[in-house]
Amino acid sequence: MAQRTVQNHNRMVLNSLEEGDLIAIHRSWTYDHWAVYDGDGNVIHLTGIGDNSHVGHSISVSGVLRNKAVVRRDKFWTVVDNCRATKNNSKDKTYRKFEAVDIVKRARDRLGPYIYSIVWNNCEHFASWCRYGLLKSDQIETIKTRGVIFGTCAVIGLWIVSVYQKEKEKEKKNEELEGILKMKVN
């Protein structure tokens, strides 16, 4: 039943797409795969190269470890598989987009082998570059921000523990000194 719901949702998304639109395909709680709509039910996307790599998975073991990837043109349904897709041109509010014909041309001009980097050149970077001329990945920016926040909290936490331990050591030394002084007085 859930699979049918996803397929119905994706059918509505596909029917709403225009050439040059960006598509985010929700793969897991950790990431979305991105593609550019090419028209006629086709998408162009950056994906990993691997023996058993699913055509729509941009992060494959071989793609990540060997930095090998390819920009491919595939059918929308092949790439989305059983995952929920959404039209996502949200960066239009912030950045100037190219005309649809130019977006598709930029994507088509990159068909073939491609250098992949999860941090600097992933499928979202590729899709954003096609539409806006910018290598932008909100997913990576979110991870970086969370990393900075986590790192800052860890440093503050370690500092607090260190201060607490120093205070405990001071208290212990003071207690020892008081004990020695009491012994001398007696």
Q: Which of 94, 120, 136 is the last residue of a domain?
A: 136
Running DSSP on this structure, what letter comes out for residue 75? Answer: E
Q: What is the pLDDT of residue 168?
A: 75
The parts of the chain modelled with pLDDT lower than 70 are: 1, 50-67, 119, 140-159, 161, 163-164, 177, 179-182, 184-186
- 81 SS3 class: coil
146 and 130 within one domain: no
Q: What is the pLDDT of residue 57?
A: 44
164 and 179 within one domain: yes
Range of the domain at 31: 2-136
Q: What is the pLDDT of residue 154?
A: 62
Q: Which of 94, 111, 136 is the last residue of a domain?
A: 136
Helices (H), 75-137: 76-80, 100-109, 123-132
Q: Looking at the 3D structure of the chain, how many domains does it have?
A: 2
The reply to whether 45 belongs to the active site is: yes
143 and 102 within one domain: no
148 and 104 within one domain: no
90 and 72 within one domain: yes
15 and 67 within one domain: yes
159 and 100 within one domain: no
33 and 119 within one domain: yes
The reply to whether 54 belongs to the active site is: no
Which residue of the set 57, 123, 125, 130 is catalytic? 123
Which residue of the set 45, 57, 125, 130 is catalytic? 45
**Residue 148: CB atoms within 10 Å:** 10
Which residue of the set 33, 57, 125, 130 is catalytic? 33
- 20 SS3 class: coil
Contact call for residues 83 and 6 (beta carbons, < 8 A): yes
21 and 8 within one domain: yes
63 and 17 within one domain: yes
CA quadruple 21, 22, 27, 33: dihedral sign:
positive
The per-residue pLDDT for range 102-129, each reduced to its tens digit, is 999 999 999 999 888 776 788 999 999 9
The reply to whether 57 belongs to the active site is: no
144 and 132 within one domain: no
